[in-house]
Chains A and B, each alone.
Chain A
Amino acid sequence: MKYTEDDLKKELETKEYEYGFYTDIDSDTFPIGLDENIVRAISKKKEEPQWMTDWRLEAFRHWKEMVEPEWANVHYQKPDFQAISYYSAPNKKPKYDSLDEVDPELLDTFKRLGISLDEQKKLAGVAVDIVMDSVSVATTFKKTLAEKGIIFCSISEAIKEHPELVKKYIGSVVPQRDNFYAALNSAVFSDGSFCYIPKGVRCPMELSTYFRINQAGTGQFERTLVIADEGSYVSYLEGCTAPSRDENQLHAAVVELVALDDAEIKYSTVQNWYPGGKDGKGGVFNFVTKRGICEKNAKISWTQVETGSAVTWKYPSCILKGDNSIGEFYSIAVTNNYQQADTGTKMVHLGKNTRSTIISKGISAGKSQNSYRGLVKISPNADNARNFSQCDSLLMGNSCGAHTFPYIEVKNKTAQIEHEATTSKIGEDQIFYCNQRGINTEKAIALIVNGFSKEVLNKLPMEFAVEAQKLLEISLEGSVG
């Protein structure tokens, strides 16, 4: 049978969300709406110290005065922030010693997601800090990590047990008043991950967190803080899937990375929130603030595979503060049906001899809109700064759109900046070439799409590459071999 691009298009349109199931776990959910009392209640519920409550309240006061940003190239019905419940945690919250004690239903959820804790424990060597509806439920490999002095726990635990670290670094990269969603997150964040790698330690395994939005009508407000002390290395993985839901769910996360002198952080994300139905109904609003700061000789590398969410608004950024620091951004964004993605990065060069690389691949199908928006800024003191950016877009069908909005601001004469963007479709000649060599059209499309995104896929850690492939398949099944 001949497999053409039209078939692929049809398949993409009719493809249902595979991971759309709902786990029935009791949750204790707060009344809907948001005011200072709710913020206090969240803080109290989490048994937080006074300074944290004050910090949240300060953020809330800023948030009240801010307006939702409208500059992004996305259109959606704005969420009613008073119609959301700001806290939801699985009811049973025991501390497990082994997997047997975990709620079987929860285990089943992970099984269906293809994540077996056992398997990962034994085979992949991945410690998973599972966040299910905002509260950390299980943490594995804690022992191994503890021996090295690595702290990997939920942020609420860290607030209690390592207040000096949290106090010092939280809000240091993304301040409370940074933007509307960051302020909201700072006020109401329910949980998230905290990670600290001590001086000179190379984290022996990939640290990983899986997120799921589980409760209808609850927003997910994750807060992640990763600190790599001098000369340390960590690779952090974040992946997420969410069940089908007809009303829009809000996800406003904040991720802060701190790479001190000579440290390296590799942060990889596979995002597969529910993208909404074929008619554009439902789906997750993903408004995320991710930013890292690099001190001397430090390196931060963001890799993301964005396949889900109805609306994505996400710009993982690097502030290259220290001399000789390096920032990298590798991204694949796939949009289908009525999905809208406005994603990219910011590379702010402050130190001397700083380098940054941006590779962004956008694939749009159906009636979706896919935008790359990025900023490369070279400040007057950033001598010999170097940037290379490449943004490629692939269009499937003519009801979708691909947009590129790069901003380049240079205030130093020794800077060297290259930016390149292309937009194309899968060429008939490319397919013809493959056909001619005995590769059928289906395989050819797979080959081309694969080749198109390979540069980014290659950057994912081994353990994660499989998952990423799997999620790419969901969006572009039949085209990825």
Chain B
Amino acid sequence: MGLKDKLLSSYIALEDHLEDDSPLHELRSKAIKTFEAKGFPTKKEEAWKYTSLNSLLKTDYSIFPKQENAIEFKDVKKYFLHEIDTYKIVFIDGVYNSFLSETTHDKLDVCLLSSALNKSKYKPIIEAYFNKVAKDDSLTSLNTAFAKEGAYIRIPKNKEVEKPIEILNFSTGNEGAVLLQPRNLIVVEENAHVQIIERHQSLSENAVFTNSVTEIFAEKRAYVDFYKIQNDGPSASLIDNTYISQDRDSNCKVHTFAFGGKLIRNNLNFYQNGEHCDSTLKGITILENKQHVDHNTLVHHIAPNCESHQDYKGIFGDASTGVFNGKIVVEKDAQKTDAFQQNNNILVDDKATINAKPQLEIFADDVKCSHGCTIGQLDEEALFYLRSRGIAKKEARALLMYAFANTVLESVKIPELKGRINKLIAKKIGVNLGFNV
């Protein structure tokens, strides 16, 4: 039985546990029908031209984890941003772990989607926001059909959250291969500020396939700073679908640090629905072995006077594959749009591959849109300069690579996180940089 059939029959099992009359039920059955009709995407689809899911679909995943797995804090401490105080929402094999988490309902909601879906007091919010910006492509629909658990964050008007919020998804591998489908809903109300860090981490060699959907609503003048850390084991794969709806004067930033995993696909979608929105999409990708990372971004400029900035850097070693598929759409009414997209790549080894597809679709005339894409090597002259000053080749290369990625790193607003990513980069490049930033 293929994974698709297994999912379809699992849905029937899931349906038995659901309330019949809930409006969500209707949403789910519609979503599963969409998934049934579309199936898993194949390379024949333009958006999936360079990424094949075939290697993931052969595994027999367990879809509903049977037992509650516990882990010790000391074993996973290093995955937390433990240097500072944070709110934490921790899931183990898709199940909420209250022991490791630190949630709140005091003035702001940092809690669980399951309670938001089931408690009547959250009903208006769920009705207003849930599945409102997510699109009905096959993988998102699959997630919608099975959506049970995930983070629910709501920041009320004018609230500036004093500490970052961490969302951590652990998989223990105790039950063999597992398919996880977390669903996050984040509502940031007028003039509220929030910083969120999201991480997926597998703790064993067993295969993990995560199909995650995150919906973010940034209302008037809201400020959202979102960091995705993707540094997972060689058997973990992730499909991250993030949808961001921006209201006027809002500012949203998403940083994606893709350092590891078997296959990662980031579908990052921004919709600028009001004037003077500012969107920033940045990423650093450093890969080795046979890793595959696909950044698929969309910035949809719907309203006038908005800005978007994209900057993705990639360093590809061994037989890794990097894909960048960035799309900027400027609608007819979105005059005075300023959209910029940049994608720079360095190929380190012979077997590495880069496929880039930066696209512009522009229907308005008074706009400033540009994109640039480069693929090249480290500058030999710069390398020579450093070496002539007594810096070993390896360190010199590392310094240059570090400098290459630095434009993205610079805009990380949480110092501890920045330090952490610095360490990750140093480890990835395989040297001690000899300085702390």
Contact = CB atoms under 8 A, between A and B. Distances in A.
B366 A425 contact: yes
Given A407-B355, A410-B353, A414-B377, A397 B371 contact: no
Interface in A397-415: 397-415
B14 interface: no
- Is the interface on chain A under 10, 10 to 19, 20 to 34, or 35 or more residues? 20 to 34
Given A398-B332, A417-B376, A403 B365 contact: no
Contacts of A399: 332
Contact of B365 (A395, A414, A419): A395
Nearest to A391: B360
A419 B326 CA distance: 13
A71 B49 CA distance: 13
A423 B359 contact: no
A418 B374 contact: yes
B386 interface: no
A183 B344 CA distance: 39
A413 B360 contact: no
Contacts of A422: 369-370
B426 interface: no
A420 B370 contact: yes
A406 B326 CA distance: 10
B359 A401 contact: no
Contacts of A396: 365
Contacts of B356: 406-410, 419
Nearest to B363: A401
Nearest to B330: A423
Interface residues of B, number: 36
B238 interface: no
B46 interface: yes
B366 A416 contact: no
A403 B353 contact: no
Contact of B375 (A401, A415, A423, A425): A415
Nearest to B376: A416
B370 A410 contact: no
Contacts of A231: none
Contact of A405 (B354, B359, B370, B372): B359
A286 to B, nearest CB: 22
B277 to A, nearest CB: 19
A412 B358 CA distance: 20
B373 A417 contact: yes
A406 B360 CA distance: 9
A421 interface: yes
Nearest to B325: A407
Interface in B351-397: 351-377
B180 interface: no
Nearest to B49: A407
B362 A419 contact: no
A356 B354 CA distance: 18
B362 A403 contact: yes
B365 A397 contact: yes
Contact of B360 (A398, A408, A414, A423): A423
A420 B371 contact: yes
A135 B349 CA distance: 54
A420 to B, nearest CB: 5
Contacts of B367: 395, 423-425
Interface in A414-466: 414-425
Contacts of A425: 365-367
A255 B350 CA distance: 35
Nearest to A398: B365
Interface in B76-117: none
B365 A400 contact: yes
Contacts of A406: 356-359, 373
B76 to A, nearest CB: 37
A423 B355 contact: no
Nearest to B364: A398
A75 to B, nearest CB: 14
A380 interface: yes
B31 to A, nearest CB: 27
B373 A415 contact: no
Given A393-B362, A397-B365, A409 B374 contact: no
Contacts of B366: 398, 425
Interface string A266-280: 000000000000000
Nearest to A424: B368
A144 B372 CA distance: 48
Nearest to A390: B372
Contact of A419 (B46, B361, B364, B373): B373
Interface string A165-206: 000000000000000000000000000000000000000000
10 contacts: A395-B367, A398-B332, A400-B363, A404-B360, A404-B371, A405-B359, A406-B373, A408-B356, A413-B349, A418-B373
Interface of A: 71, 380, 393, 395-425
Given A398-B366, A403-B360, 20 more contacts: A393-B360, A395-B362, A399-B332, A403-B362, A404-B359, A406-B358, A409-B355, A411-B353, A415-B347, A418-B372, A418-B373, A418-B376, A419-B356, A419-B372, A419-B373, A419-B374, A420-B372, A422-B369, A423-B370, A425-B365
